[in-house]
Amino acid sequence: MTPPRAIIFVGAVMLGMLYGAAALPRDIHVDPSRSNGCPGSGTPDDPYCDWSHVRQFAGGDRYLQRSGTLSHASLKIVGTTHASAQKPVFIGAYQAGPRPRIRVENPLAGGLNPDAWKHVRGNVWMFSTHGFRSGDPEVLLLDGRRAFGNARTELDLCEKPGAQLIEWFYRDGALFLCSPQGNPAVVYSVISGMQQFDRGDPWAPIFIEDQQHIIIDGLAVEGGSLGAIEIRGASADIEIRNSVIGLDSASGIRAQSFGTPISRLDIHDNLIDSGVRWGMAGYGPYVSGEGVHFVAGVQDSRIYRNQFIAWPHNGVYLDAHWPESPGVRRNLIFDNEFHCGPGSSYFDYCRPYGLDGFAADFVRDNVVFRNRMHDFSVAAQVNGNNNYMVGNICYNTVNSKAKQRPTGQCFSLQPYVWSRDNLVANNTMVNTADVAVQLSSGESAVSSGHRIVNNIMYGCGRATVSTRRGACISVAPHASVGPQEISNNLMYNPDGPVRVLYRRDWSDDFGRLKARSGDVVENNRVADPLFRDLARNDFDVLSDSPAIGVGKIVEIPGLTFSGVGMNAGAGQSSTGARWEFAQ
């Protein structure tokens, strides 16, 4: 698929540089399986023994790890001697075979000494990490298996609210572990984490700072205390493609800048999978993990054609909730798939994406377009202003057992920090446990000016409390929920009437919906959208669908619309009505 012309960065000259890897003049080889003749010279016959032996990454050269090998040494591109403003650094693989792996995993220093563990009570043991570089493991592995935790409190250890055992907890330089079989140093042969225990321990498999023009292609990148791939400083024009990212990582790709914003990241065609497979846990450990995390200042970047699986917080997180944030703006998230993996959903969050801005314009002008989101428990969260959620498909949401209130929604707009003037349009939402769209009360500001238009909502409120059963939309009665627009939506419940929670705490029949509190509520209908094959999750509509030829014209930066129809982003190839990137 050729990247849409409307969002090509800077022009054909830059793309020529980014995609010109085949003509690069030098290949530098790394073979971590090599055990003699180290450090090597980087040639095919005398490769470097690991990434730590590569002292400089020069623009125009390719740096290649042998396929099927595992490197525990970090790959770091930092400082003024690295990369280039003119030619890209290419990082990839040589020889045929499985993707080369770069993995950070730090054994707990002294963790296999029985005397280092103190018995606290019952099956709970404590290990002091005072004096370590950073004693919180972020992700804890016991004999290579990702342990269930970090618990919310120490008292949760060894409890069994469901089928799970809450295994670990960290506080103030102490690591607590639930070990029913006795002293952990005796029970386990390896106890490791993704943080720096000793000062010399690595903490990111790939770390990039203040660099431009880097291509990462065809790797497996695992572990890491913040991100498996971490990008800092005034970096730009970095492409990450065709890779498997995030196994046992705190987050997959993390880009952070509190100064000059990071810009023009191109993240595409990757499998971004945390590896978490805890099943129906019924408990939300105190963790935060993101598939892609844009922190404070990341702009004009693209995330597309990736598959995001099982991230404890968000598949993608656009995050500028600090007062000093330069802003997370004008990013495009399109044609991705988000879900929580087998047995979804199994714990507190695992939402498709979240947007959080501290104040006006901190998170704005981001477009979330034509993504497929399914089998998760917590709605995509939208706090920010002038963002666009268009043409997405959301289906099979469930209610998290970790929550006391229903969470199985598609979109939630709320004044958690700052939430104004966002658009939710032309999305298809099918079989939601709770309402399809919620406009909820918040903690710090008024949420207003949101537009919920041209959406199809089918099978709403299927597994929620009785006061919300069958409801497709919820608008909270709280004063923090200001005037909104809800118009030109098509709703249908195959097993009962369509209901709404409109500025009250209980649902009412859709036919009684009348505008209040300055809202615009008009042209909403109840009718079967006539999906082409609901059983196969094919949400294109048939030629006689009532979703065709109706709707409200809306404008989205960088997108154009041909024809008229509600679920345009879902396809409708037979009708010709769909959103596309502007030419």
- Please report, in tens digits, the pLDDT of each residue of the chain (583 residues total): 444 433 333 333 333 444 444 444 799 999 999 999 999 999 999 999 999 999 889 989 999 999 999 999 999 999 876 666 678 999 999 999 999 999 999 999 999 999 999 999 999 999 999 989 889 999 999 999 999 888 888 888 998 666 678 899 999 999 999 999 999 999 999 999 998 888 888 999 999 999 999 999 999 999 999 999 999 999 999 999 999 999 999 999 999 999 999 999 999 999 999 998 877 666 666 667 899 999 999 999 999 999 999 998 899 999 999 999 999 999 999 999 999 877 555 555 688 999 999 999 999 999 999 999 999 988 999 999 999 999 999 999 988 777 778 889 999 998 877 899 999 999 999 999 999 999 998 766 789 999 999 999 999 999 999 999 999 999 999 888 999 999 999 999 999 999 999 999 889 998 888 898 899 999 999 999 999 999 999 999 998 999 988 888 888 888 877 666 676 554 444 444 566 777 6
The type of residue at 509 is D
Q: In the prediction, which pLDDT does 9 show? A: 34
Q: Return the DSSP state at 535.
A: G
pLDDT value for 38: 94
Closest by CA to 99, choosing from 65, 133, 135, is: 65
Residue 10 backbone phi and psi in degrees, to 5: 65, -35
| φ, ψ at 114 (rounded to 5°) | -55, -30
Residue type for 317, please? Y
Residue 252 to residue 229: CA distance in whole angstroms: 6
Helix (H, G, I), strand (E, B) or coil at 512: helix
The per-residue pLDDT for 28 is: 97
The candidate with the shortest Cα–Cα distance to 331, out of 312, 347, 345, 317, is 317
CA angle 301, 302, 306 (to 5 degrees): 145
Per-residue confidence (pLDDT) for residue 567, from 0 to 100: 64
Q: Give pLDDT, residue 19.
A: 42
Amino acid code (one letter) for 142: L
Give dist(CA 394, CA 409) in Å, integer.
Answer: 9
- pLDDT score recorded for residue 165: 83
pLDDT at 489: 95
**Tens digit of each residue's pLDDT (9 = 90 or more) over 115-167:** 999 999 999 999 999 989 889 999 999 999 999 888 888 888 998 666 678 89
Both structure tokens of 114: 């029985």
Q: How many Å apart are CA 278 and CA 293, to the nearest integer?
A: 22
**3-class DSSP string for 402-454:** CCCCCCCCCEEECCCCCCECCEEECCEEECCCCCCEEECCCCCCCEECCEEEC
Torsion angle, CA of 497/502/507/512, rounded to 10 degrees?
Answer: -50
Q: How many Å apart are CA 101 and CA 75, to the nearest integer?
A: 11
Who's near 262: CB < 8 A, 6+ residues apart? Answer: 231, 232, 233, 234, 235, 236, 255, 256, 294, 297, 298, 299, 301
Give Cβ neighbours of residue 131 (< 8 Å, ≥ 6 apart).
none
User: Cα separation of 3 and 581, whole Å?
Assistant: 10
Give the whole-angstrom CA distance, residue 302 versus residue 263: 10
Q: Which pLDDT score is estimated for 149?
A: 86
- Residue 462 one-letter amino acid: R
What is the per-residue DSSP string for 104-160? Answer: E-EE-TTTT-GGGEEEEETTEEEEE-TTSS----SSEEETTEEPSB--SSGGGTT--
- Burial zone of 564 (CB within 10 Å; 0-12 exposed, 13-18 middle, 19+ buried): middle
For residue 441, the model assigns a pLDDT of 86
The pLDDT tens digits of the residues spanning 234-286 come to: 999 999 999 999 999 999 999 999 999 999 999 999 999 999 887 766 666 66
- Return the DSSP state at 4: P
DSSP state of 17: H
Dihedrals phi, psi of 384, to nearest 5 degrees: 155, -170
Dihedral over Cα of 25, 30, 36, 41: its sign: positive
Question: pTM score, two decimals?
Answer: 0.92
pLDDT of residue 16: 41
Phi, psi of 142 (to 5 degrees): -115, 110
What is the per-residue pLDDT for 278? 78
> 376-390 pLDDT, tens per residue?
988 999 999 999 999
Find out whether 418 and 362 touch, Cβ atoms under 8 Å: yes
> CATH number of the domain at 251-581, please?
2.160.20
